[in-house]
């Protein structure tokens, strides 16, 4: 397929604009992103790690509806007995539920949720399971919505994680 400069860019990929490549004299270089359509769809899962079961469920409900119900957005909030806190067991179960083979993005709400997720990730044997897990530094609700929207579009794990993290720059006013 001819590219915009008349050369051959190979297969037809969707493109996104990135920072200018070296030597492009200010033009934006086009970089391919991984995307599969229809039956061979990329499906990145999302886990929302919160101290509150209600907060995690509400954010998951919002993100799921915005994504059209096609993305696994799984809440991992509170403790097993319903108190405020975080639970490695609930996070692990949520990861297992969200993982459809193309990776899982974890979005924590506050500091100790980050610590719980990091401790769990350190203990998991990711190579044995073949899972790709990314813990992102993103605003909880906005990051969940941005990640779910990106995942619903068939974007790969890196693009979904980037969408979540970029949500921190979205202005409300």
Residue 59, CA distances (Å) to 76, 91, 103, 119 in order? 11, 15, 20, 23
Residues with catalytic function: 51
C-alpha to C-alpha distance for 118 and 130, rounded to whole angstroms? 18
Contact assessment for residue 113 and residue 50, using Cβ atoms and an 8 Å cutoff: yes
Contact assessment for residue 101 and residue 43, using Cβ atoms and an 8 Å cutoff: yes
As a whole number of Å, the CA-based R_g of the chain is: 18
């Amino acid at each position: 397929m001819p590219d915009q400069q008349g050369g051959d860019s190979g297969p037809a990929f969707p493109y996104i604009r990135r920072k200018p490549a070296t030597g492009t004299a200010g033009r934006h270089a086009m970089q391919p992103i991984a995307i599969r359509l229809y039956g061979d769809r990329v499906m990145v899962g999302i886990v929302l790690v919160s101290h509150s079961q209600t907060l995690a469920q509400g954010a998951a409900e919002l993100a799921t509806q915005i994504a059209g119900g096609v993305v696994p957005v799984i809440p991992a909030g509170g403790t097993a007995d319903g108190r405020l806190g975080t639970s490695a067991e609930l996070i692990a179960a949520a990861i297992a539920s969200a993982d459809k083979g193309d990776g899982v993005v974890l979005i924590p709400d506050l500091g100790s949720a980050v610590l719980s997720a990091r401790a769990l990730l350190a203990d998991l044997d990711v190579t044995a399971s073949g899972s790709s897990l990314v813990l992102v530094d993103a605003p909880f609700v906005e990051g969940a919505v941005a990640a779910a929207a990106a995942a619903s579009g068939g974007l790969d794990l890196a693009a979904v994680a980037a969408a979540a993290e970029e949500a921190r720059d979205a202005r409300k006013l």
